[in-house]
Structure 1
Amino acid sequence: MTTSPLPEPLPYHRLARLSVHHRWWRPWVGTLVVALVYTIAVTTLYLVFDAWGSRKGYPKGPDGSVEFGPVSGTAVDLLLLAVGIPVVLLAVRWIGQRPAGTVSSVTGRLRWRLLALCVLTALPIVALSTVGMLLLPTDGGQESRWAGWTVFGPALAMLVVLVPLQTAAEEYMFRGWLTQAVGALARSPWWAILPQAVLFAAAHGWGTVWGFADLVVFGVTAGWLTWRTGGLEAAIGLHAVNNLLSFGFAAAVVDGLKSDETAADAPWQVVAIDVVSILLYAAAVVWWTRRRPPVRQAPAPLPPVPPAVATSYAPLTGAPVSPTWPGRPTPGAPVAPPYPNAGAGGGDRA
């Protein structure tokens, strides 16, 4: 009697194929829906904020839009970007026909302990690089002045709450949805990593060649770490710490948050320091994940089980058959996983 081989476990970039309902067109349709719904949601929220600001008497700028001021205006911008999180999660669930958490990691959830370790790894590296950037000679512009605690305190509180949401939204969009959408069609992770990195850089605008290259390096490194660790935690950790320190130093000086410059406008000196910090962070994450490897792959979906077989299977094991993944017991049921050694290291230790 011959048995058919078990389906291979799936790495992060291939998780769009996790659903037994996967079809080649779902990633393409999903990408269009994500872009459309996100645009509509951001436009609607912007109009709501603009109408509310007009009623509250905020001044209007030359283009007719309400000017909320540096702190409130930054908060509005961060909130508009954070809308990407629910948009991606809903697209994964409704269009991808798989659990929404599979865009977070191969375990179907965000691994908070791993995220905390990544944040702690990024903090000293990014802090040193930020100090190095601040010590670079300037072009002799206006000297920066301390904004005072009455300005910096509320701004810092706002940034601590909203910057992690903004950075996570960008990761869910680029390292999450786009990586898995391309990965559904390409086996090699590089075909999924490179396009999202270029689109990520382009989304920040066109500044200097050096700034664009810096963003591509960040996107490639974050994408590779996502594939290497099996989830978005490493990318979110670096992105959140980097943006929080950047916004924090800007909020500490008078009118620092008014600047329209982004990472795309960075000169080569800043880019050189930033690239070194990105590579150091990646090396540090690789080093400690070798000692405590997280799960890097998810069990592939089993083929559908005929109703008669499923009915007889459930009473024997005490585990009802999952309606989402046919033939697989529901999460939490006392049944051993079909692929106990699917992840590198054999378990989610991080």
Structure 2
Amino acid sequence: MTNLSAAAPSPYLPGPLPGPLSVPPPAHLAEPLAHHRLARIRGGHRWWRPVLGTLFVAAAYMVTVVLLYGLVDAVGAARGHRRGPDGTVEFGPVTSTAVDLTMLAVAIPIVLLAVRWIGRRPAGTVSSVTGGLRWRWLGLCVLAAVPILAATTGAMLLLPAEDEPSQQWAGWEVFGPALAMLVLLVPLQAAAEEYVFRGWLTQAVGAFLRSPWIAIAPQAVLFAAAHGWGTPWGFADLVVFGAVAGWLTVRTGGLEAAIGLHVVNNLLAFAAAASVVDGLASDDTAADAPWELVLLDLTGVALYAAAVLWLARRHRPARTAPAALAAVPAPPAPVPAGYAHAPVPGFPVPYGARPDAPGLPPGTPPAASPSDDSARSPR
């Protein structure tokens, strides 16, 4: 076995090691991983995990929705609600919208279960490179989205409506309860779509391919298709929305920017619909948008993306998972003489330890921490 003498330089520590080192540290740490590559963050990754997980998410979601709709239908029939032409129980626009939003929101726990159970990695790695939602960063993104999307939504409302009857104010007795329901459920619905498309699907493709754009493109097309086939302009709007949301996710290291954009967009769109008589009863979605609305919508998306990039330069959210999280654990090396613990490159001293603790050379500074530099239609 090779002995490294005290005079031999080390690639892991500045200067020579104090004393012999019987087993050298690992040759290298794994590369830092961007958000779309986090399916590979653990050493137990296998090629079939993203494939099986995608099938599980699709099947589990369909089964859950069928069961929940069956339960809702039974409750509605038992309470005497009449059935519509399609055979489903009619609860009224507000309650029916609440049911539909809830059915979309149930995708969140399904995705988290797939990440943890099939992906064999922490569930929070689908949220961001830090292992969970960064609530402060999410709040900043929401604050950036509100004035921009409010302006573009207001411009949309000023456009002349063709072949549509004049719309009447629904009244506070209708709008108030509807708005309360929307504030409660729309964030869950919008976040669920982000967890499925910008979270799970992007990371499933990114498990095989390094390029973020190749990982972003499929989910953007599937996101548009999930909203139905309306006008070519509306479909293109949804594809661009999904691509920008995916790019912001990779660029900022998490789903927060995409969630902020999606939540504010949908809240404004649903609130505008709820403010007029039978507005929530409409079946129109962003897929049915004409080119005038699409132009205003994409202007708002572009301005929001620019605002998020400006905020990211100021607040510097982590863009990659630290290399040590992506590394396969190696057997611990023997402790060199004169050290209280084995030196680990790029990591500070453990909690509670001090540079001048017994066993460390007096005045030894802690190692530097890794940098973050790598570091209005409803949708």
- TM-score strictly above 0.5: yes
Do residues 116 (structure 1) and 139 (structure 2) align? yes
Deviations 1:297-350 (A, max 9, x none): 0024222344xx4999xxx769xxxxxxxxxx9xx966899993252277xxxx
Larger Rg: 2
CA RMSD of aligned residues (A): 2.4
Q: Which residue of 1 aligns with 2:130?
A: 107
Do residues 10 (structure 1) and 39 (structure 2) align? no
What secondary structure, in the 3-state scheme, does the structure 2 residue paired with 1:80 have?
Answer: helix
Distance 1:57 1:310 in 2: 72
1:215 aligns with one of 235, 238, 254: 238
Change in Cα spacing, 1:76 to 1:335, as seen in structure 2 (3 Å) is farther
Distance 2:122 2:282 in 1: 40
Do residues 341 (structure 1) and 370 (structure 2) align? yes
Distance 2:187 2:333 in 1: 43
Count matched residues.
330
Distance 2:334 2:192 in 1: 41
2:70 aligns with one of 47, 58, 61: 47
1:200 aligns with one of 216, 223, 242: 223
Change in Cα spacing, 1:172 to 1:242, as seen in structure 2 (3 Å) is same
Q: Which residue of 2 aligns with 1:281?
A: 304
Distance 1:299 1:287 in 2: 23
Distance 1:257 1:70 in 2: 6
Change in Cα spacing, 1:233 to 1:335, as seen in structure 2 (3 Å) is farther
Q: Which residue of 2 aligns with 1:149?
A: 172
Deviations 1:186-242 (A, max 9, x none): 001001111100000000000000000000010000000000000000000000000
Distance 2:232 2:282 in 1: 20
Do residues 80 (structure 1) and 103 (structure 2) align? yes
Q: CA deviation at 1:141?
A: 2.0
Do residues 178 (structure 1) and 207 (structure 2) align? no
Q: Which residue of 1 aligns with 2:17?
A: none
Change in Cα spacing, 1:335 to 1:128, as seen in structure 2 (3 Å) is farther
Q: Which residue of 1 aligns with 2:12?
A: none
2:42 touches 2:327 (CA, 8 Å); kept in 1? no
1:304 aligns with one of 290, 312, 329: 329
1:210 touches 1:271 (CA, 8 Å); kept in 2? yes
Distance 1:108 1:338 in 2: 23
Mapping of residues 82-101 of structure 1, within 5 Å: 82-101=105-124
Greater mean alpha carbon deviation, residues 93-102 or residues 285-294: 285-294
Distance 1:79 1:173 in 2: 15
1:299 touches 1:339 (CA, 8 Å); kept in 2? no
One-letter identity of the residue aligned with 1:79:
T
Mapping of residues 222-261 of structure 1, within 5 Å: 222-261=245-284
1:298 touches 1:343 (CA, 8 Å); kept in 2? no
Mapping of residues 27-38 of structure 1, within 5 Å: 27-38=50-61
Structure 1 or 2: more helix by fraction: 1
Distance 1:62 1:219 in 2: 34
One-letter identity of the residue aligned with 2:158:
L
What secondary structure, in the 3-state scheme, does the structure 2 residue paired with 1:243 have?
Answer: helix
2:35 touches 2:319 (CA, 8 Å); kept in 1? yes
Q: CA deviation at 1:292?
A: 1.6
Structure 2 unmatched ranges of 5 or more: 5-23, 355-365
What secondary structure, in the 3-state scheme, does the structure 2 residue paired with 1:101 have?
Answer: helix
Distance 1:311 1:15 in 2: 31
Structure 1 unmatched ranges of 5 or more: 319-328
2:138 touches 2:257 (CA, 8 Å); kept in 1? yes
1:294 touches 1:345 (CA, 8 Å); kept in 2? no
2:248 touches 2:305 (CA, 8 Å); kept in 1? yes
Distance 1:311 1:119 in 2: 49
What secondary structure, in the 3-state scheme, does the structure 2 residue paired with 1:97 have?
Answer: coil
Change in Cα spacing, 1:338 to 1:200, as seen in structure 2 (3 Å) is farther
What secondary structure, in the 3-state scheme, does the structure 2 residue paired with 1:67 have?
Answer: coil
Q: Percent identity?
A: 64
2:198 touches 2:246 (CA, 8 Å); kept in 1? yes
Distance 2:59 2:367 in 1: 38
Q: CA deviation at 1:63?
A: 1.9
One-letter identity of the residue aligned with 1:302:
A
For normalisation by structure 1, the TM-score amounts to: 0.89
